[in-house]
A and B are shown apart, each in its own frame.
Chain A
Amino acid sequence: MENNILRIEHLTMQFGGVVAVNDLSMEINRGEIVALIGPNGAGKTTAFNCVTGVYEPTNGQILFCGRQIARSSPTGKMRKMYAGNDASAFVGDSVRLSPDHVTKLGIARTFQNIRLFSGMTVFDNVLTAKHLRRKSNFLVSTLHLNYAEEKRMREETWELLKAVHLLDVADEMATSLPYGKQRLLEIARALATKPTLLLLDEPAAGMNPQETEELSAFIRQIKDEFQLSIFIIEHHMNLVMDISDRIYVIDFGRLIASGVPAEIQNNPAVIEAYLGGEDQ
């Protein structure tokens, strides 16, 4: 079993003149919870988007369980404009997988600005995410001949909703839920795709201290229960320090520090960048 789940090598993402991520290298090993923190606009969500295939990196490569899921070097106009480091290292065949392909390989994510399926119930939101693991073809599925598979999907959805304590609102419209529960629903939905690596983008945003503590325990619980590795972006420092095995800190797209929570808390560069007080 591959121990290295995610390896990001010299990732640079440049939009026009703005270098959003600059030469970021990091890795996540099996069973770890790794956090990516930094001031607003530092490039964290952009890094997520490169991993999940939403953006094609300008330079660098990303490996998931040893397999290339993104590889790129500056081409065309970007060759002249490129402002990052070492543009020659990744010349050659480029690789870009679409987001749905990345998810099928085993990486799932939640979104910073909640993106639930607004026209569906809570139950259906999670059930829809089961679709990618289907075995039946279109005809069988349409004619409802896939009774067993549909039953299995619904049972698994039930279990997931039970795990996040959303069973009692299963038939409500997803967007009628309070904010905190919507975030939990997003996590349940991501889990429905049976990922190996779970990307959480500010899961505690908008939560009060109590909810954040519960979330902390919840993340640890699902990590064990579903055998996940977790990559988290977060501003709630309590949560980050509490659950992370390792932390990477970026500012203006560059990595400025990495290490275990204790090291990061005392790192002067990090403190200077933004850790002056705790963000709530």
Chain B
Amino acid sequence: MWSTVFPYLLSGISVGGQYALIAIGYTMVYGILRLINFAHGDVFMVSGIIMVYLCASGIPLYICIPLVLVLTAFIGFLIERAAYKPLRSAPRMSVMISAIGVSYTLQNLVLYITGGLNQIYPTIPWISNSVTILGATTKMVTVITPFLTIFLVFVLVFLINRTKIGMAMRAVSKDFETSQLMGIKINSVISITFVIGSFLAGVGSILYFTNYTTVIQTSGAMPGLKAFVAAVFGGIGSIPGAVVGAFIIGIMENIIKGLDVILFKAGLIAKPLGLATFSDAFTFALLIIILIVKPTGLFGEKTTDKV
């Protein structure tokens, strides 16, 4: 039984970590701007595409990797400046529509550049190697991801709680206007938020695409959506919440993919029920349940409106 379940558990933890790195970007941006950055998943995808093209142009891998991370962070910064900053005083729906527009644009841009053909992600030595853990064979990246994710989260939490810029970020997410009045440079805080979020998405893309080696313009849609659900589930605005949510979603998603096999091997069903179709739907069901039961998420806080 364990040998049936464990591989799914392992992939679950791995993809959960990758979702976590994306989810952090969503939760930080929402915490500060109350904006659902629909384009974030596509930034993740673009990061993968950039890696493909940089490596294909002959640049050695040890330069490609940091370059991709820098470029991804820069793209995140650029998007905020071009598409969100001009609408900061506009009603919230306008900014959300702008985010949707950016998402649409990024996907079409990549579709145009790649011609719609699947791009194969370059193989990064060592993390692509096969490794056997507790009877399950998988790539090294699957093992590394959770540790790397947790490490980066610790660094980020340290940054937020112990540095001045982190304090500024916390202040802005609590009260936007008052922070401005207190002299905090809002534009810098917002830019840094986007830079950090995109940087982490870039790391996530390296890990993710080393595992699922195909990159196409729609590759960011599902992971993005799921990471967002993770952020909401954990409590939008809470980084630990987003991480916990992401791991839960990653694990459950993979268990459901394997549910037919698991139940069959356990003798509980006679033939496959096609439950894998619901692996994605599970994430959304989770979203709806949490929104109804506790909309502020696992670690979220309640706010009251003044009449």
Consider the complex of A and B and state whether they touch directly, i.e. have CB atoms less than 8 Å apart. Answer: yes
Instruction: Provide a sorted-by-A list of 5 A–B residue pairs whose CB atoms are within 8 angstroms.
Output: A15-B304, A45-B307, A49-B307, A54-B307, A55-B307
CB-CB nearest in chain B for A48: B307
Query: What secondary structure prevails in chain B residues at the interface with A?
Result: loop
Contact with B along A151-175 (1 / 0, CB 8 A): 0000000000000000000000000
Contact surface of B with A, Cβ cutoff 8 Å: 304, 307
A45: chain B residues at CB < 8 Å are 307
Query: What secondary structure prevails in chain A residues at the interface with B?
Result: mixed
Contact with B along A31-75 (1 / 0, CB 8 A): 000000000000001000100001100000000000000000000
Tally of chain A residues near chain B (CB < 8 A): 5
CB-CB nearest in chain B for A55: B307
B307: chain A residues at CB < 8 Å are 45, 49, 54-55
Give the docked Cα–Cα distance between A55 and B304 (Å).
Answer: 11
Tell me the total A-B contact number using a CB cutoff of 8 A. Answer: 5
List CB contacts (< 8 Å) of A81-110 with chain B.
none
CB distance from A105 to the nearest CB of B (A): 19
Give the docked Cα–Cα distance between A54 and B307 (Å).
Answer: 8
Give the docked Cα–Cα distance between A15 and B302 (Å).
Answer: 13
B304: chain A residues at CB < 8 Å are 15
CB-CB nearest in chain A for B304: A15
User: What are the 5 closest A-B residue pairs judged by CB atoms, nearest first?
Assistant: A54-B307, A49-B307, A15-B304, A45-B307, A55-B307
CB distance from A247 to the nearest CB of B (A): 24
Give the docked Cα–Cα distance between A251 and B304 (Å).
Answer: 24
Give the docked Cα–Cα distance between A15 and B307 (Å).
Answer: 13
Give the docked Cα–Cα distance between A75 and B264 (Å).
Answer: 49
CB distance from A219 to the nearest CB of B (A): 23
Give the docked Cα–Cα distance between A45 and B307 (Å).
Answer: 9
A54: chain B residues at CB < 8 Å are 307
CB distance from B103 to the nearest CB of A (A): 28
Give the docked Cα–Cα distance between A49 and B304 (Å).
Answer: 14
CB-CB nearest in chain B for A111: B307
CB-CB nearest in chain B for A112: B307
Give the docked Cα–Cα distance between A15 and B304 (Å).
Answer: 10
Give the docked Cα–Cα distance between A55 and B307 (Å).
Answer: 9
CB distance from B59 to the nearest CB of A (A): 55
CB distance from B286 to the nearest CB of A (A): 27
Give the docked Cα–Cα distance between A15 and B306 (Å).
Answer: 11
CB-CB nearest in chain B for A45: B307
CB distance from A160 to the nearest CB of B (A): 25
CB-CB nearest in chain B for A52: B307
CB distance from B48 to the nearest CB of A (A): 44
Give the docked Cα–Cα distance between A54 and B304 (Å).
Answer: 12
CB distance from B207 to the nearest CB of A (A): 43
Give the docked Cα–Cα distance between A49 and B307 (Å).
Answer: 8
Contact with B along A203-229 (1 / 0, CB 8 A): 000000000000000000000000000
CB distance from A119 to the nearest CB of B (A): 12
A49: chain B residues at CB < 8 Å are 307
Give the docked Cα–Cα distance between A15 and B305 (Å).
Answer: 12
CB distance from B217 to the nearest CB of A (A): 38
CB distance from A20 to the nearest CB of B (A): 11
CB distance from A76 to the nearest CB of B (A): 14
CB distance from A61 to the nearest CB of B (A): 21
CB distance from B264 to the nearest CB of A (A): 47
CB-CB nearest in chain B for A46: B307
CB distance from B304 to the nearest CB of A (A): 7
CB distance from B9 to the nearest CB of A (A): 39
CB distance from B79 to the nearest CB of A (A): 31
CB distance from A118 to the nearest CB of B (A): 11
Give the docked Cα–Cα distance between A54 and B306 (Å).
Answer: 10
Give the docked Cα–Cα distance between A204 and B304 (Å).
Answer: 28
A15: chain B residues at CB < 8 Å are 304
Give the docked Cα–Cα distance between A45 and B306 (Å).
Answer: 11
CB distance from B294 to the nearest CB of A (A): 16
CB distance from B98 to the nearest CB of A (A): 22
Give the docked Cα–Cα distance between A186 and B307 (Å).
Answer: 16
Give the docked Cα–Cα distance between A15 and B303 (Å).
Answer: 12
Give the docked Cα–Cα distance between A163 and B304 (Å).
Answer: 38
Give the docked Cα–Cα distance between A13 and B304 (Å).
Answer: 15
Give the docked Cα–Cα distance between A33 and B25 (Å).
Answer: 56
Give the docked Cα–Cα distance between A55 and B306 (Å).
Answer: 10
Give the docked Cα–Cα distance between A262 and B54 (Å).
Answer: 86
CB distance from B226 to the nearest CB of A (A): 35
